[in-house]
Structure 1
Amino acid sequence: MPIGTKVDFNCPKSIQNHIYNMVFIEIKTTNNTSVKEDFTGYFFAFTQGELSASEQLGVRYAIALVNRRTKNIEMSSVPKLLVKAKSMNWQVSVQL
């Protein structure tokens, strides 16, 4: 959002007026001791919803990698993280 912009989140019209300036942030957290400062060794998954949101929102959708142990935070995007991935395992999760 541009600095100084105020959105009344209790007012649907205010949200509607500012929605195209908003960046939506997905937060992925870890406290695993094997995760390095640069998040090397961090294993996590993207849901189909996250992949779709990234595709639809583009630069307005960000990923925050948060290491709760070291307090390190890295901002990125789905495309950038997929490029950095050392491995990918695609799966379908089903609950009956």
Structure 2
Amino acid sequence: MGNNGSKFVKKIVSPFSNTIDSTGTDHPRSIVKSNSPVLVISRKGSMFFDEDGDLAHEFYIEVPPLRKGCKATMKKVLHNLIPQGEVAHQYPRLHVDFPIILHQV
């Protein structure tokens, strides 16, 4: 039963590191290689600027009622919005595809 557990762990760990070869032996000098950068300094902003220069995730305008006695409604603005662009992080962060599991003890 322990043998099956070892195979299961190897299948889980092998996509994340290149330190285990097909024979199951560890190579301490092998280095995990990734094409993605390790640290991320900026991200794409998720907010928009409107015509007045206000910054928000969504913009709404109030639509007056068509007849007396009805309530006013809100309509979402979809036009004339400018994306925020690149936003710098306060401190660098690890990339999502960083292939090493970090654990705080």
TM-score norm. by structure 2 comes to 0.20
Q: Which has the higher contact order (CA 8 A, sep 6+)?
A: 2
- Which is greater in Rg? 2
